[in-house]
Amino acid sequence: MQTLDKDEAVEQATFDQRISDEQKIEPTDWMPDDYRKNLIRQMSQHAHSEVIGMQPEGNWITRAPTLRRKAVLLSKVQDEAGHGLYLYSATESLGITRSQMIDALQSGKAKYASIFNYPTLTWADIGAIGWLVDGAAIVNQITLQRTSYGPYARAMVRICKEESFHQRQGYEIMTVLAHGTQVQKQMAQDAMNRNWWPSLMMFGPHDSESAHSSRSMGWKIKRMSNDDLRQKFIDQTVPQIEALGLDMPDPLIKWNEERGHYDSGEINWEEFYQVINGAGPCNYQRIKHHKAAHSEGEWVREAVRSYRQKQQDKKTENAA
């Protein structure tokens, strides 16, 4: 697609006006280089998270306790693959290719949500992930439906619609376990405790520490700050923990009448940076598996390419 060349200052002014008028930016519009770069970083990271996120859950598909649970989990993981596709395609509209993005993921240049570098030790982890991890993702994604880049916003609308069952199926698993035998209840408690902090880390560093946050807010790529999103998640989740009858994963969680929010303890940021920078329990395994799956799938892509070549050759032969 093509657009007319205009003076850059005029373009910048038009862009700024669109942002301040809550208008979406579309792929053929002029946009500042840094806006494009920032979007590519955030959107590809989001896409990678959807794809890598299939691994910890995929770990339990063959071991789901009932056929129904297995079908539900399969459906959910299938949705996540689709979310990866929507997001990669939307990111490609910014002028980066799929293979560039996959290279960046596999070489460690691009990040993905650090929560997926933790192992899924028991079946209860599948409940905790659906409930807490998808729950945290939904809090973020709901605000991103209003992000300033059109293709990203539209992908988010589609994704939010599909996410709706992910969290509930997780909570249902937790409810059954929490009301089960003592051992099952303990399993639920343990999975929640282990997944709680990494779920809070999904919202990223504190606003004061976040390198990209304020600029992204200015461009309306992000619509709510990391800390505000995290607080929103804590506020909605604490009553859900109470309803399960489980103990709080953080002894400092307490309703603060004055603030109108729950107070909670401080995240272990050292752990956060360690995991982000590759030293989490499963970082190595996740990328190794991605590389293996990608290269094992090469023969399919190869077959598609050579079929296409054959069809083209046939066409030119017939035309000659």
Partner 1 sequence: MSQEQLAVYEVFIRSNRGLDHKHVGSLHAESPEHALMYARDCYIRRSEGVSIWVVESTNITASQEDDIESFVDPMDDKPYRHATHYVLPDNVTGM
Q: Which is nearer to Fe ion, 47 or 96 (CB)?
A: 47
Pick from 97, 236, 256, 309 the residue near partner 1 by CB under 8 A: 236
Cβ atoms of 146 and 153 within 8 Å: the answer is yes
> What span, in angstroms and rounded, lies between the C-alpha atoms of 126 and 129?
5
Task: Identify any residues that bridge with 174 across adjacent strands, giving them in sequence order.
Answer: none
Strand, helix or coil for residue 28: coil
Of these partners, Fe ion, partner 1, none, which one is at the site of residue 83 (CB under 5 to 8 Å by kind)? Fe ion
Establish if 169 lies at the interface with partner 1 (CB under 8 A): yes
Of these partners, partner 1, Fe ion, none, which one is at the site of residue 134 (CB under 5 to 8 Å by kind)? Fe ion
Q: CB 201 → partner 1: shortest distance, Å?
A: 20
Q: Which is nearer to partner 1, 119 or 150 (CB)?
A: 150
Burial label for 124, CB within 10 Å (0-12, 13-18, 19+), is buried
Establish if 75 lies at the interface with partner 1 (CB under 8 A): yes
Chain center to CA of 31:
25
Pick from 81, 243, 279, 292 the residue near partner 1 by CB under 8 A: 243
Of these partners, partner 1, Fe ion, none, which one is at the site of residue 169 (CB under 5 to 8 Å by kind)? partner 1
Chain center to CA of 273:
18
Establish if 212 lies at the interface with partner 1 (CB under 8 A): no
Using the structure block, give the residue that is written with the tokens 């990866």: 84
Residues that bind Fe ion (CB under 5 A): 50, 80, 83, 134, 163, 166
Pick from 60, 116, 171, 196 the residue near partner 1 by CB under 8 A: 171
> What span, in angstroms and rounded, lies between the C-alpha atoms of 33 and 39?
10
Question: Which span (67-75, 184-192, 212-220, 268-276) binds partner 1, by CB under 8 A?
Answer: 67-75
> What span, in angstroms and rounded, lies between the C-alpha atoms of 294 and 280?
22
Q: CB 79 → Fe ion: shortest distance, Å?
A: 6
Pick from 93, 240, 263, 267 the residue near partner 1 by CB under 8 A: 240
Helix (H) or strand (E) holding 256: strand 254-256
Question: Which span (54-62, 105-113, 209-217, 232-240) binds partner 1, by CB under 8 A?
Answer: 232-240
Structure tokens at 118: 């933790």
Residue partners of 157: CB distance under 8 A and separation at least 6? 145
Establish if 135 lies at the interface with partner 1 (CB under 8 A): yes
Pick from 11, 14, 18, 207 the residue near partner 1 by CB under 8 A: 18
Task: Identify any residues that bridge with 256 across adjacent strands, giving them in sequence order.
Answer: 261
Establish if 224 lies at the interface with partner 1 (CB under 8 A): no
CB-facing half-sphere around the CA of 296: CA atoms within 13 A: 6
Using the structure block, give the residue that is written with the tokens 């002028």: 95
Establish if 70 lies at the interface with partner 1 (CB under 8 A): no
Pick from 10, 13, 71, 303 the residue near partner 1 by CB under 8 A: 71
> How would you classify residue 71: left for phi > 0, otherwise alpha for psi between -120 and 50, otherwise beta?
alpha
> What span, in angstroms and rounded, lies between the C-alpha atoms of 74 and 108?
28
Number of residues interacting with partner 1: please give it, by CB under 8 A.
27
**Contacting positions for partner 1 (CB under 8 A):** 18, 23-26, 28, 68, 71-72, 75, 135, 150, 153-154, 164-165, 167-169, 171-172, 175, 236-237, 239-240, 243
